[in-house]
Amino acid sequence: MKIIYSKHFPPKGFGAINLFGLIIARKEYGRLTSVEKDHELIHTRQMLEMLIIPFYLSYVAEWLIRWIQYGDKYKAYLNISYEREAYRNMHDPSYLKKRKLYSFIHYYRKEAET
């Protein structure tokens, strides 16, 4: 996993973003922890399962739906099924070894724990 540190990207409030398996992290945020790296690795696995472009299309579509549903951009982000799976399992270093294909589907209807 390649990590690039940037002054301007991702937007403030986000420590890192995974673009096609390349992690871009805000320099001011500091080095990513192993837990944060695991979060991004979960996203990489999701991308590969969804054949990359459909992952991004469905991610944005679900975010828009959640934004309408919750009326709040950040709560919408936290409730995207891909994010729910990543946040829920990023503290388990062995998660990707036991993860089943398309596991994010199980998070589609569950609300994020805030």
Q: Give 45-94 pLDDT, tens digit per residue.
A: 999 999 999 999 999 999 999 999 999 999 999 999 999 999 999 999 99
Alpha helices in 50-111, H assignment, sequence order: 53-70, 73-78, 81-89, 95-98
Q: How far is CA 8 from the centre of its chain?
A: 19
Per-residue pLDDT, averaged over 33-41, amounts to 98
Cβ distance 22 to 29 under 8 Å? no
Where in the chain are the domains?
33-107
- Residue 36 burial by Cβ neighbours in a 10 Å radius (0-12, 13-18, 19+): middle
Q: How high is the pLDDT of residue 61?
A: 98
| Phi and psi, residue 85, nearest 5° | -60, -45
> What pTM was computed for the model?
0.92
At 113 the three-state DSSP class reads coil
pLDDT of 13 reads: 87
